[in-house]
């Protein structure tokens, strides 16, 4: 498996002189997020705050969905943070290798000859799901370790080995909480199909034991799981159940796309030949060469537990009510299909090991027939421009994939219906298909990059040199790559897991997007409000140039502009209702004038305090004659002093001549606590940001951050690990005592005879 992936990645590594990139999310999220997580952990461990994600986010909340629990990430920690683009291809090779090894261990349990398990591991590791999701590097952790979860359940049922089952639950839970939820749903389906019994009482008792193992395993990972459950419970990306009837059907385009991705080789999500042009979901299934031929043949031939699972997954794919169930009715986007492909790979190798000619021929013709009908329908839809859209975007590639699918089905039929199936022949043909499809996928991904590799590397090299002169300001640059590689506070805007209060702040400007943050330079005054003092430019005359960075292409310059500091004095307030009366393009200027408050965000005491001590501004009271620069100058003079920040929080001193409210453009969550001269003080939520009241005179202000739920999670994890280790010790002790007794009896019998 490693050699297969090695032969594919190596040409791209060589072409990039060791620097490996693909496109879109891989370049914009996977590379910078790994670097950002590396830096955040070195700063403050898992409990801290990362200033590199958008306007700032909890390290735990921001990175757990990506790589915090990944063994491959922790391996990358052995290297400098900015070395990641040079090692990511090698880590990818390891991921494909481990996906092959662990799936092989699972498949081996169901075949008589282990070589067929090896073949099945190739089908699984290089399935359409794996190929299309090259864009999402961290998805491959779930692909790798999911087979271990099934092995754990199998060992539990076979040998009552609960300890391995519990450990695999812990491992999958800590690696990625999102995928783990889907795996639990699949595990329930798997259990019911494979181990259901007419003895309801015995099955219920057994199910309770399995649930107990699950609770213990999840409890062992609670230090990661609980904080993230708290976080996603307030995340607007979390889906809501919209009713049974509305989730029984979907659009015609979606039905056709699901069918296409089940039948044909997976395509790059950035360039799709038919139905959609681009689609950043995870629709990919195709097993190299064999496609659905052997899966259909298996379902025809056998009506066993595996057929039931396959049929359920196939039906669920077309019904949102069942598909979205895997992720608790958030947008599933077929991100559970890697589990489906493992079942399909198992059915395929079992059919190859013990072929049934009639069933395989029926499966072949059924597969070809489905492909033919799908192709004809899409051609007709395209000809009549159904729904006013183009259904075939790249005819050459589409028809090539159709031809490859049909040829693969015919080859599969010929090879597998012979009197003796030649394993070597099958493996070679499948490997050729797998390597060819993966190379094409990677090549198209590279060719679709919105920024070429040279330009990307140029920015990477520049970012590695950046140091901001003043910690109380941000880098006005929206690329994750810049702020995370530079390890500075910035405006990075490509994340689905930034803190929830950032969404509250963006909502003040009627902005919402699931992943892309609000552009900070499109609304007058917003970049200035958020401390965006520094920016990069190719033109040294675009502002006050304070640094230059030479690279292989073109010199870039660090430019300084006027901006408010992160912490500054506020002297009036405006309610959220009044703010929304203004045009969106006026609201940032209004926030430069007055802090925003909304009664539901505050306690009664806080609301009464602010409204009684600060004058209120109505929408018509905002002075738009005052320039943005005048506001910046005013707030610079009213800024806090000695500002410092790190992964644990921020510190400053104040010296106002009267009691003053100070606004901090830092996202709030319940992990923040603030002290003035060591005494706790209330944090007032101001449109998702933070406001505190400081008394007159010189004072030391300290904000500390600890991830919400982390302490509770750590306590639960500690207890569960103690329970797990105790149970292991008792079990091993019983085994030891029992073996000693047996030994003593065996020794005593001859002596008694003597």
pLDDT at 731: 62
Q: What is the mean pLDDT of residues 714-743?
A: 74
Q: Which structural domain range is residue 510 located in? A: 462-564
Parallel, antiparallel or unpaired: strands 660-664 and 697-705: unpaired
pLDDT at 748: 38
Q: Judge whether residue 633 has pLDDT over 80.
A: yes
64-90 pLDDT, tens per residue?
Answer: 999 999 999 999 999 999 999 999 999
pLDDT at 420: 87
CA distances from 373 to 60, 150, 192, 287, 296 (A): 48, 36, 34, 20, 17
Q: Judge whether residue 239 has pLDDT over 70.
A: no
Tally of structural domains, the chain: 3
Task: Kindly state whether residues 205 and 71 are assigned to the same domain.
Answer: yes
SS3 letters for 438-452?
A: HHHHHHHHHHCCCCC
Q: Judge whether residue 308 has pLDDT over 50.
A: yes
* The last residue of a domain, from among 538, 564, 590: 564
Task: Kindly state whether residues 323 and 469 are assigned to the same domain.
Answer: no
Percent of the chain with pLDDT over 70: 95
pLDDT at 542: 87
598-609 pLDDT, tens per residue?
Answer: 999 999 999 999
91-128 pLDDT, tens per residue?
Answer: 999 999 999 999 999 999 999 999 999 999 999 999 99
> Of the given ranges (235-249, 361-375, 396-410, 514-528), which has the lowest mean pLDDT?
235-249
Q: Which ranges in 31-113 belong to alpha helices (H)?
A: 31-44, 59-63, 71-76, 84-107
Task: Kindly state whether residues 322 and 416 are assigned to the same domain.
Answer: yes
Residue 359 falls within a domain, yes or no?
yes
User: Do residues 48 and 648 touch, judged by C-beta distance below 8 A?
Assistant: yes
Give the 3-state secondary structure of residue 248.
Answer: coil
Task: Kindly state whether residues 492 and 608 are assigned to the same domain.
Answer: no
Q: What is the mean pLDDT of residues 139-160?
A: 95
Which DSSP symbol is given to 494?
A: B
Query: Which band of pLDDT confidence, cut at 50, 70 and 90, is reported for residue 619?
Result: very high
- Separation between Cα atoms, residue 714 and residue 117, nearest integer Å: 39
Cα of 80 vs its chain's centroid, Å: 23
Query: Which band of pLDDT confidence, cut at 50, 70 and 90, is reported for residue 59?
Result: very high
Tokens 């693969």 locate to: 408
146-156 pLDDT, tens per residue?
Answer: 999 999 999 99
Q: Judge whether residue 166 has pLDDT over 50.
A: yes
Cβ of 376: how many Cβ atoms within 10 Å?
Answer: 10
Residue 693 falls within a domain, yes or no?
yes
Crossing angle of the two packed helices 395-416 and 357-384, in degrees rounded to 10: 170
Task: Kindly state whether residues 553 and 590 are assigned to the same domain.
Answer: no
pLDDT at 31: 94
- Separation between Cα atoms, residue 254 and residue 182, nearest integer Å: 21
Phi, psi of 563 (to 5 degrees): -160, 155
Q: Judge whether residue 628 has pLDDT over 50.
A: yes
User: Do residues 346 and 107 touch, judged by C-beta distance below 8 A?
Assistant: yes
520-541 pLDDT, tens per residue?
Answer: 999 999 999 999 999 999 999 8
pLDDT at 746: 44
Q: What is the mean pLDDT of residues 137-166?
A: 94
Residue 730 falls within a domain, yes or no?
no
User: Do residues 660 and 549 touch, judged by C-beta distance below 8 A?
Assistant: no
Which DSSP symbol is given to 287?
A: -
pLDDT at 8: 81
Give the residue from 520, 497, 500 showing the smallest Cα distance to 509: 520
Q: Judge whether residue 585 has pLDDT over 80.
A: yes
Classify the C-alpha dihedral 717-718-724-727 as positive or negative: negative
Task: Kindly state whether residues 327 and 418 are assigned to the same domain.
Answer: yes
Phi, psi of 583 (to 5 degrees): -60, 145
- Separation between Cα atoms, residue 503 and residue 435, nearest integer Å: 42
Burial (Cβ within 10 Å: 0-12, 13-18, ≥19) of residue 700: middle
Contacts (Cβ under 8 Å, ≥6 apart) of 452:
none
Cβ of 521: how many Cβ atoms within 10 Å?
Answer: 14
- Separation between Cα atoms, residue 663 and residue 652, nearest integer Å: 13
- Separation between Cα atoms, residue 348 and residue 344, nearest integer Å: 6
Task: Kindly state whether residues 271 and 374 are assigned to the same domain.
Answer: yes
387-412 pLDDT, tens per residue?
Answer: 999 999 999 999 999 999 999 999 99
Residue 679 falls within a domain, yes or no?
yes
Residue 45 falls within a domain, yes or no?
no
Strand-pairing partners, residue 655, are 698
Q: Please state, rounded to an integer, the average pLDDT across all residues of the chain.
A: 91
pLDDT at 735: 60
Query: Which band of pLDDT confidence, cut at 50, 70 and 90, is reported for residue 240?
Result: low
Residue 36 falls within a domain, yes or no?
no
Q: Judge whether residue 569 has pLDDT over 60.
A: yes
Task: Kindly state whether residues 383 and 486 are assigned to the same domain.
Answer: no
Task: Kindly state whether residues 310 and 394 are assigned to the same domain.
Answer: yes
Q: Judge whether residue 514 has pLDDT over 90.
A: no
Task: Kindly state whether residues 601 and 682 are assigned to the same domain.
Answer: yes
pLDDT at 554: 83
Phi, psi of 510 (to 5 degrees): 55, 35
Contacts (Cβ under 8 Å, ≥6 apart) of 610:
573, 597, 602, 661, 684, 691
Residue 324 falls within a domain, yes or no?
yes
Residue 191 falls within a domain, yes or no?
yes
* CB-side neighbour CA atoms (13 Å) of 254: 14
Phi, psi of 406 (to 5 degrees): -65, -45
> Of the given ranges (1-10, 216-225, 670-679), which has the lowest mean pLDDT?
1-10
Give the residue from 163, 178, 166, 167 showing the smallest Cα distance to 224: 178
Query: Which band of pLDDT confidence, cut at 50, 70 and 90, is reported for residue 243?
Result: low
Cβ of 367: how many Cβ atoms within 10 Å?
Answer: 26
646-656 pLDDT, tens per residue?
Answer: 999 999 999 99
pLDDT at 236: 57
Tokens 């609670």 locate to: 222
Task: Kindly state whether residues 141 and 188 are assigned to the same domain.
Answer: yes
Which strand (E) or helix (H) includes residue 535?
strand 532-537
Tokens 């505190």 locate to: 692
- Separation between Cα atoms, residue 460 and residue 135, nearest integer Å: 19
For residues 500 and 127, which has the higher predicted lDDT (pLDDT)? Answer: 127
Sheet holding 649-656, edge to edge: 641-646, 649-656, 697-705, 672-676, 679-681
Query: Which band of pLDDT confidence, cut at 50, 70 and 90, is reported for residue 732?
Result: low
pLDDT at 728: 81
Task: Kindly state whether residues 510 and 441 are assigned to the same domain.
Answer: no
For residues 553 and 754, which has the higher predicted lDDT (pLDDT)? Answer: 553
pLDDT at 249: 83
Give the 3-state secondary structure of residue 160.
Answer: coil
Q: What is the mean pLDDT of residues 355-378?
A: 97
Give the residue from 499, 55, 506 showing the smallest Cα distance to 234: 499
């Amino acid at each position: 498996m490693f050699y297969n992936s090695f032969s594919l990645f190596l040409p791209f590594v060589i072409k990039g002189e060791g620097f490996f990139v693909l496109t879109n999310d891989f370049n914009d999220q996977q590379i910078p997020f790994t670097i950002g997580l590396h830096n955040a952990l070195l700063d403050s461990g898992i409990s801290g705050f990362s200033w590199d994600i958008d306007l700032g986010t909890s390290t735990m909340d921001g990175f757990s969905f990506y790589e915090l629990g990944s063994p491959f990430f922790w391996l990358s920690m052995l290297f400098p943070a900015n070395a990641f683009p040079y090692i990511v291809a090698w880590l990818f090779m390891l991921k494909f290798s481990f996906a092959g090894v662990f799936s092989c261990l699972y498949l081996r349990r169901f075949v008589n000859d282990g070589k067929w398990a090896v073949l099945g591991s190739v089908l699984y590791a290089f399935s359409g799901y794996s190929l299309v999701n090259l864009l999402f590097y961290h998805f491959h952790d779930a692909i790798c370790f999911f087979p271990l979860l099934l092995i754990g359940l199998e060992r539990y049922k076979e040998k009552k080995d609960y300890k391995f089952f519990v450990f695999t639950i812990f491992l999958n839970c800590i690696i990625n909480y999102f995928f783990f939820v889907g795996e639990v749903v699949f595990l329930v389906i798997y259990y019911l199909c494979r181990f259901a019994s007419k003895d309801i009482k015995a099955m219920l008792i057994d199910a309770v034991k399995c649930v107990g193992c699950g609770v213990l395993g999840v409890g062992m990972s609670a230090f990661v799981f609980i904080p993230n459950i708290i976080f996603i419970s307030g995340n607007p990306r979390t889906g809501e159940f919209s009713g049974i009837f509305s989730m029984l059907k979907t659009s015609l385009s979606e039905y056709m796309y699901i069918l296409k991705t089940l039948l044909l080789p997976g395509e790059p999500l950035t360039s799709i030949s038919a139905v959609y042009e681009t689609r950043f979901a995870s629709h990919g299934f195709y097993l190299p060469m064999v496609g659905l031929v052997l899966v259909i043949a298996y379902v025809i031939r056998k009506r066993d537990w595996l057929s039931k699972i396959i049929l359920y997954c196939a039906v669920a794919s077309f019904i949102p009510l069942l598909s979205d169930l895997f992720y608790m009715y958030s947008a599933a986007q077929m991100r559970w299909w890697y589990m489906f492909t493992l079942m399909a790979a198992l059915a395929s190798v079992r059919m190859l090991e013990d072929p049934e000619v009639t069933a395989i021929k029926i499966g072949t013709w059924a597969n070809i027939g489905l492909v033919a009908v799908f192709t004809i329908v899409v051609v007709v839809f395209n000809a009549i421009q159904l729904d006013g859209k183009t259904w075939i975007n790249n005819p050459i590639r589409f028809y090539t994939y159709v031809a490859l699918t049909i040829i693969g089905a015919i080859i599969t039929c010929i090879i597998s219906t012979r009197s003796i199936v030649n394993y070597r022949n099958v493996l070679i043909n499948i490997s050729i298909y797998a390597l060819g499809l993966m190379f094409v996928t990677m090549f198209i991904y590279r060719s679709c990059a919105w920024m070429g590799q040279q330009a990307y590397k140029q920015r990477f090299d520049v970012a590695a040199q950046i140091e901001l002169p003043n910690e109380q300001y941000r880098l006005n640059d929206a690329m994750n790559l810049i702020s995370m590689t530079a390890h500075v506070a910035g405006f990075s805007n490509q994340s689905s897991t930034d803190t929830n209060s950032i969404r509250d702040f963006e909502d003040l400007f009627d902005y919402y997007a699931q992943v892309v943050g609000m552009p900070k330079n499109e609304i007058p005054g917003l970049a200035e409000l958020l401390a965006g003092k520094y920016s990069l430019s190719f033109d040294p005359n675009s502002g006050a140039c304070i640094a230059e960075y030479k690279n292989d292409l073109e010199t870039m310059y660090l430019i300084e502009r006027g901006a408010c500091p992160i912490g500054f004095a506020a002297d009036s307030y405006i309610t959220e209702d009044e703010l929304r009366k203004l045009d969106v393009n006026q609201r940032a200027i209004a926030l430069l004038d007055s802090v925003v408050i909304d009664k539901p965000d505050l306690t009664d005491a806080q609301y009464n305090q602010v409204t009684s001590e600060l004058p209120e501004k109505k929408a018509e009271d905002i002075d738009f004659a005052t320039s943005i620069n005048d506001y910046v100058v005013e707030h610079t003079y009213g800024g806090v002093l000695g500002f410092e920040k790190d992964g644990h929080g921020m510190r400053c001193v104040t010296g106002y001549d009267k009691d003053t409210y100070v606004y901090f453009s830092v996202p709030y969550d319940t992990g923040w606590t603030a002290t003035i001269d060591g005494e706790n003080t209330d944090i007032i939520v101001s449109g998702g940001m933070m406001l505190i009241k400081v008394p007159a005179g010189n004072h030391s202000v300290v904000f500390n951050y600890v991830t919400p739920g982390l302490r509770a999670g750590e306590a639960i994890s500690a207890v569960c690990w103690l329970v797990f280790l105790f149970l292991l010790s008792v079990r091993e002790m019983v085994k030891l005592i029992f073996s000693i007794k047996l030994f003593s009896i065996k020794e005593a019998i001859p002596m008694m005879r003597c």
